[in-house]
Structure 1
Amino acid sequence: MPAWLFALFAGAFVLYTDDYVIAGVLPEIAREFGVGEARAGQLVTVFSVTVALAAPVAGIALARVSRRLLFGAALLIFIGANLAAAVADSFTMLLILRVLAALAAAAATPALFAYAAERAPEGRTGRYVAVVALGVTGSLAAGVPIGTWIGGRFGWHATFLAMAIAGAAALVFLLGTLPYAERAGGVPGIAEQLRVLGSPPVSLGLAANCVLMTGSMMMLTYQASFFAAVSRADVDQRALAFALSGTAGLAGVWLGGLATDRWGPDRSLRVGIGSFVGTMVVLWVLGFFRPVPLFVIVAIGTVQGGIAFWNAPAIQARLYLLAGPVAGQALALNTSGTYLGVALGGAVGGLTLSWAGAEQLPIVAAVLGAGALVLLGVAARAAQTPVATRLRARSGARRPGR
């Protein structure tokens, strides 16, 4: 694999770490600025909401910008925002700087996936996308814990400084490895872009990803609550389950990429989402046999972690193959839907926890997963219609199942 692909991995790792790492130092930020932890938590919320809203706009507005220029400018803004955050003297200023960093992430992150898919050799789209997706999973497994440790050891200012340094390293890596030559091919007009993005094969796939993310992130967010409700696992044992789940997520991303290349995105998604639904049903049934032995919970939690990330390469590759020259914009919308799914997962999970109890979380997640499977089935059938075929031909999109 080329060096630039690992530079894309580094970019994804840094940008996604910056989103989540603040959660680990929120108490220290709240104390220094004299605000409640709930208000300090808006630093996380405003970043996610900004990315969700700005990514589609940036995808369309910056479609004709050179990728080297886009990545370079976005990372320079990201570095500057984090350096300023390290010396911010008010909570309001810190909030503004988080919005600035999020705008940089919104412009760059979908383009990282699109660039990898565009330059992947025949039959290796899934693997190339999986390498970038490993940066996302790795940010959760390693980036956030490291950033939190830095904040605990040297203060929260050091966490922002570390993110700026990491951003600078990613910038040097990207500019040092990305080819100067851009792939030939024009960008369709705004009307044509919107026509492709609104077509059922693309739009229903985007909706399916949002629904699936709602279910999977709901379970990941409230996994500790579920484990506590159905087993006697203590905090250390639950931490072990989380660690194994995160490790399985890294394996799941890569295996999902291999499956996408071997089977095609649609079949890979059917297997991945079907496995997710099956796992959720098993967890729900186990809730009737409380307390569940720890080794059972750890084993199933590990499988769940792998499955949760299996689908990422297939979703990205599917959109790229369907949207063609509008792939960057489609992936930007997918980024928006992913962040929306994370937010909805927290809300739906919270309501389920309050009204029905933690043991009912898996069945709600299973219903959401089944809904995503139905949406993808309809999207796959829509992709075979004559209207969809003509639309792809007019826009220059690649044929699905390449």
Structure 2
Amino acid sequence: MPIGLIALALGGFGIGLTEFVIMGLLPEVATDFRVSEATAGWLISGYALAVVLGALLLTAAVTRFERKPVLAVLMVLFIAGNVLSALAPDYWTMMIGRIIAALSHGAFFGVGAVVAANMVAPTKKAGAIAIMFTGLTAANVLGVPFGTMLGQATGWRSTFWAITGIGVLALAGILALVPSTGSGDAAPGGLRSELRAFRSGQVWLSILVTILGYGGMFGAFTYIAFTLTEVTGFSSSTVPWLLILFGVGLFIGNTVGGKAADKNVDRTLIVVLSALVAVLVVFALTSGNQPMTIASMVLLGGFGFATVPGLQMRVMKYANNAPTLASGANIGAFNVGNALGAWLGGVTITAGLGYTSPIWAGAGTTVLGLVVMAFAAADAKRSQIVATDSDTRAVANASL
């Protein structure tokens, strides 16, 4: 394994911690700023929407620059956002800090995914991307639960100071371990070549699957602290330990999903999305049962994150020789899904449908993602058959 992948995973760990840890601290943040649960949830949705802007605008702006310095600058931006979050005297200052940190997120993973894929052989690209995203899973397995416990014990601000320290370590790791990779992509024309990747219908279908499939999982997860305490009956002190189980599922799903996607990406995504729908339905139906909820947490994390390497590899595959902006756009799509899921969950809770309603909304969103994925796979297969037939006829005509 190239050592540079470790540095990328370290950066992913810090960014993943910023994105996800607030879910376990949402009740404390809502109380401190004297806002409702749904309003506090916008700290998640606002972050996600800012990721989309960063993924598109910042990635487009840096396509011609050497990737290693770009990753370092993005990490500096991430650190600054978390310092502001830790110092925030009110809700809107906290939101600004979240937005600043989020702007680095999409571009970091978009550029980082391309760097990771270029470090290994073509048959191991999804696995390399999975290693980079291991930082996100480690953030959930270790960072989020312990960050939640830290925040509950010493105040939620202490968690963001700890994240700032991790960001500094990640910056040092990037500078020391990530190799210089040259500037821009292999395709000539810079940004214009990058934009041509979006002429592919399969790129757009992949992005839509990312929004719907990941958004379904995230919608169920956004308000999980309220579901666990208000529906299942766990105490708030138990929530961090349950988040560890969710993180274990993420780690396993990310690893297995990456290996499976290297063999057949479309089949992997269809199977995983189907399983995710089933898990969400069972979770919603049995959320009052503690043992079933524990099992559902593990499976939700596993199948929810098993989609990530395949979704990222698929959009890069159909972007051909200009993958950086398409990769960044798909990272943005993950966070459009995050925002969509959090918004739908907030709407259902505000409508008085209870704390299991975000899970049902997530199941419905994932079903839509599965339908789009099935169509995309069938369309890709038809196109491949047509292209093969055309090549065969061309060879036959040339031999006459």
- Residues 379 and 191 (structure 1), Cα distance of their counterparts in 2 relative to 1, 3 Å cut: farther
Query: How big is the alpha-carbon RMSD for the aligned residues of Structure 1 and Structure 2?
Result: 3.5
Q: 1:199 corresponds to which letter in structure 2?
A: S
Query: Which residue does the alignment assign to 1:318?
Result: 314
Pair 1:335-2:331 in alignment = yes
Superposition deviation, residue 231 in structure 1? 5.9
Q: Which residue of 1 aligns with 2:34?
A: 36
User: Is the 8 Å Cα contact of residues 226 and 361 (structure 1) preserved in structure 2?
Assistant: no
- What is the match of residue 393 of structure 2? none
Deviations 1:221-280 (A, max 9, x none): 34466667886666677765543232122111111111112x321111011111112333
Q: Evaluate the alpha carbon distance shift between residue 243 and residue 191 of structure 1 in structure 2; reply closer, same or farther with a 3 A threshold.
A: same
Alpha-carbon separation, structure 1, partners of 2:41 and 2:113: 28
Question: 1:19 is matched by which residue type in structure 2?
Answer: E
* 1:115 partner letter: V
- State whether residues 382 and 388 of structure 1, in contact with CA within 8 Å, keep that contact through their aligned partners in structure 2: no
Structure 1 residues 358 and 88, CA gap change in structure 2 (3 angstroms): closer
Q: Is the 8 A contact 1:200 1:383 kept in 2?
A: no
Give CA deviations for 1:125-160 in whole Å, capped at 9, x if unaligned: 121111111211222332233334444555555444
Measured after TM superposition, the shift of residue 203 of structure 1 is 0.2
| CA spacing shift, 1:165–1:388, aligned 2, 3 Å | farther
Is contact 2:14-2:166 (8 Å) kept? yes
Q: What is the alpha-carbon distance in structure 1 between the residues aligned to residue 152 and residue 355 of structure 2?
A: 31
Task: Report the counterpart of residue 343 of structure 2 in structure 1.
Answer: 347
User: What SS is found at the alignment partner of 1:51?
Assistant: helix
Contact 1:202–1:379 (Cα < 8 Å) also in 2: no
Q: Does 1:135 align with 2:135?
A: yes
Code of the aligned partner of 2:51: V
Q: Is the 8 A contact 2:149 2:240 kept in 1?
A: no
Q: Secondary structure at the match of 2:123?
A: coil
Structure-2 residue corresponding to 1:394: none
In structure 1, C-alpha distance between the alignment counterparts of 2:268 and 2:30, rounded to whole Å = 44
Q: In the aligned structure 1, how far is the partner of 2:308 from the partner of 2:356?
A: 27
More off after superposition, 378-387 vs 42-51: 378-387
Counterpart for residue 255 of structure 1 = 256
**Does the Cα contact within 8 Å between 2:344 and 2:358 map onto a contact in 1?**
no
What does the per-residue CA deviation read over 1:20-46, in whole Å, with 9 as the maximum and x for residues that have no partner?
4456667777888xx534577655444
Residue 63 of structure 1 deviates from its aligned partner by 1.0
Q: Could you tell me how far 1:363 is from its partner in structure 2?
A: 5.1
- Matches of residues 145-164 of structure 1 in structure 2 within 5 Å? 145-151=145-151, 158-164=158-164
Distance 1:388 1:372, change over 3 A: farther
| TM-score, length basis structure 2 | 0.81
Q: Give the aligned partner of residue 309 of structure 1.
A: 305
Change (3 A) 1:296 1:94: closer
1:377 to 1:241, Cα distance in 2 relative to 1, 3 A: same
2:218/2:338 contact within 8 Å kept: yes
Q: What amino acid does structure 2 have at the position aligned with 1:194?
A: L
Question: 2:52 aligns to what SS in structure 1?
Answer: helix
* Equivalent runs, 1:204-223 vs 2, <5 Å: 204-223=205-224
Contact 1:257 1:313 in 2 (8 A): yes
Aligned to 1:144: 144
Distance 1:59 1:230, change over 3 A: same
Deviation at residue 324 of structure 1 after TM alignment: 2.7
Q: What percent identity do the matched residue pairs reach? A: 27
Q: Which runs of 5+ in 1 are unaligned?
A: 391-402
How far the C-alpha of 1:14 sits from its partner, in A, is 0.7
What is the CA-CA distance between 1:85 and the residue it aligns to? 5.5
Give the Å deviation of 1:317: 1.3
CA contact (8 A) 2:194 2:323 kept: no
Q: Does structure 1 retain, via aligned residues, the 8 Å contact 2:140–2:246?
A: no
Q: Distance in 1 between matches of 2:34 and 2:231?
A: 32
TM superposition score normalised by structure 1: 0.81
CA 1:389–1:225: 2 relative to 1, 3 Å: farther
1:280 and 1:362 in contact (8 A); partners too: yes
Higher mean C-alpha deviation, range 66-75 or range 234-243 = 234-243
Question: Residue 229 of structure 1 contacts residue 359 of structure 1 at CA under 8 Å; is this kept in 2?
Answer: no
> What does 1:56-67 align with in structure 2 at a 5 Å threshold?
56-67=56-67
Q: 1:150 to 1:359 in 2, by over 3 A?
A: closer
Q: In the superposition, relative to structure 1, how do residues 36 and 387 fare at CA in structure 2: closer, same or farther (>3 Å)? A: farther
After TM superposition, the structure 1 = structure 2 runs for residues 182-261 of structure 1, keeping only pairs within 5 Å, are 182=182, 185-223=186-224, 241-261=242-262
Once the 2 structures are TM-superposed, how far is the Cα of residue 297 of structure 1 from its aligned partner? 3.5
Distance 1:378 1:283 in 2: 27
In the TM superposition, what is the alpha-carbon distance from 1:48 to its structure 2 partner?
2.6
In structure 2, how many angstroms separate the alpha carbons of the residues matched to 1:230 and 1:92? 30
Could you say if the C-alpha distance between residues 53 and 205 of structure 1 is closer, same or farther in structure 2, counting changes exceeding 3 Å? same
Question: 1:271 is paired with a residue of what secondary structure?
Answer: helix
- Counterparts of 1:27 and 1:274 in 2: how far apart (Å)? 32
Q: Distance in 2 between matches of 1:231 and 1:155?
A: 25
Q: Deviations over 1:152-175 (max 9, x none)?
A: 555555444433321221111112
94-103 or 302-311, which deviates more: 94-103
Counterpart of 2:2?
2
Aligned pair count reads 383
Q: Which amino acid aligns with 1:75?
A: M
> 3-state DSSP class of the match of 2:322?
helix
CA gap of 1:232–1:200, structure 2 versus 1, over 3 A, is: same
